[in-house]
Amino acid sequence: MWVACVVPAIAVLLSLMQTEDLAYQVRAGSLMWQTHSLLRTDPFTFTVGGQPWHDLQWGAQLVLAGIHAVGGWRGLVFVRAVIVGGAVGITYLRVSRRGASPQASILATFAAFILCVSLAGSIAMRPQLLAVPLFLATAAALGARHRRSAWMWAIPVIGVLWVNVHGSFVLLPLLCALAFVADLFDRAERRWTTGLVFAVSLFTPLVDPWGYRSYTYVVDLTTTPIVRTVIDEWRPMWRQWPAGLLFLLALIGVAIVLMRGGWARMRTEDRFVLVTFSLLAVASGRNVIWWSLAVPPAIGAALPSRASSWSRVASIVARVAVAAMLALALIRLVSRAPDLVLADAPIGISTTVSDATDPATHVFAGWWGSWLEFTDPAARQFVDARAEIFPDDVWADYFRVSHAEPGWGEVLDDRGVDVVVASRQHQAPLIAALEGDAGWREIYSDPEGVVFQRAESKEGR
């Protein structure tokens, strides 16, 4: 099992940590630690600033800010590696306990991990990742009911924690529902206990600052068209590349295993889990992480059970090699500058923006909005990673400016934008338009992007 834990952890330690959906979370948590109160209105932008914000992830933000306060960005990288490595290792253990051989277990578990890695953001350090241990704890409690049903009463406690961490809390009553229906099909003696736990799990999300609105938040988030337009990972799996192809190959592999007699060896509950989480993943790439945690154990009984053993020498060599790689990865982490472990964290750009702004400054920097909210909390951003809180007219203006479409200058004037930060990769037309506009002057440029400031002072406008 330790190899199954360590190899993914090494991969995480050697990769860069995305800040797009992390930096503002850390900043929000820091604000709550400082004020000893929840954030109920938007403190970051000028387009919806001061308006109500349903900050469902407040608990995760406190955790992320606490880790950052103690260990900085490297501390967050380390915790991310522990969560990912632990999740893969526990999934391997769950697969093998269903009767699969070690080789089949590691193949199924690592294939699911690679699928997650292929979809950007799936294992990013953010509230969703903090929900992964809660998902596994729920699955463990439900799995333990076959031996002792009392374990299921840990689920309401998990549910209270989960709803204050991430919107994926709806998966807890879903897992309970699948277990209950399976127990009904199997006429298990514990079926009414499972049903009662399921009923209670529906009410645990009410134990948070938002009450029933936590449910309506999830409904609104998953049905808002702009979310699927702006956030790539929310799109259906057939629109993801290369994750969509890898997911199709994974489904084909599962189908082959089942057609060779594996379906008959699976429990009723595992069949429900396989079908349900596969449909969820097809509907949205965002769900592929839950598929990777739920499906490999579900098909564990269908996988080959005959094990081929390694020689003692080969086993020792493999363990020494993995331990050495882990040591090198940890040395690399602690020896690098904190900003070098991050992606989408342009230090030169953020330093320039901080020098050029004050609390009254309006910044257009959608691509790096979250990062600048962390590095320059005084300024106010146009938009950030919270796609769901901005109305359609704000997003229409954002895309008009980003693509330098007709009327882009009027948008910047009407919105009172003072500083524009443009990405070379994603906003090249905007850079060209600003370079040709006498009303704007370039104050910084590097391979990642360009910073522009209005040529006239605020007093002159």
449-454 and 440-445 strand pairing = antiparallel
CA angle in degrees (0–180, nearest 5) for 301-303-308: 120
Element (H, E) at 8: helix 2-14
Q: What is the tens place of the pLDDT at every residue in 386-426?
A: 999 999 999 999 999 999 999 999 999 999 999 999 999 99
Determine contact, residues 109/300, Cβ cutoff 8 Å.
no
281 pLDDT above the threshold of 60: yes
459 pLDDT above the threshold of 50: no
Residue 346: both structure tokens together: 């342009």
Determine contact, residues 136/33, Cβ cutoff 8 Å.
no
The pLDDT value given to residue 226: 87
- Compute CA distances 214 → 14, 207, 223, 272, 409, whole Å: 36, 10, 14, 26, 39
Q: Which of 409, 418, 406 is nearest to 452 (CA)?
A: 418
The pLDDT value given to residue 461: 47
Over residues 92-100, mean pLDDT: 95
What residues contact 165, with CB distance under 8 A and at least 6 apart?
57, 59, 60, 63, 127, 130, 131, 134
Q: What is the tens place of the pLDDT at every residue in 433-452?
A: 999 999 999 999 999 999 99
Q: What is the tens place of the pLDDT at every residue in 109-161?
A: 999 999 999 999 999 999 999 999 999 999 999 999 999 999 999 999 999 99
Percent of the chain clearing pLDDT 70 (strictly above): 98
Coil/strand/helix, residue 453: strand
Q: What is the tens place of the pLDDT at every residue in 21-57?
A: 999 999 999 999 999 999 999 999 999 999 999 999 9
380-381 and 362-364 strand pairing = parallel
Domain boundaries, the chain: 2-302, 346-460
Over residues 4-12, mean pLDDT: 95
Using the structure block, give the residue that is written with the tokens 């994603």: 426
The pLDDT value given to residue 458: 52
Burial 5-24 (b: 16+ CB within 10 A, else e): bbbbbbbbbebebbbbbbbb
Q: What is the tens place of the pLDDT at every residue in 326-374?
A: 999 999 999 999 889 999 999 999 999 999 988 889 999 978 999 999 9
**pTM exceeding the 0.85 threshold for the entire prediction:** yes
Q: Position 426: which residue type?
A: H
Percent of the chain clearing pLDDT 90 (strictly above): 88
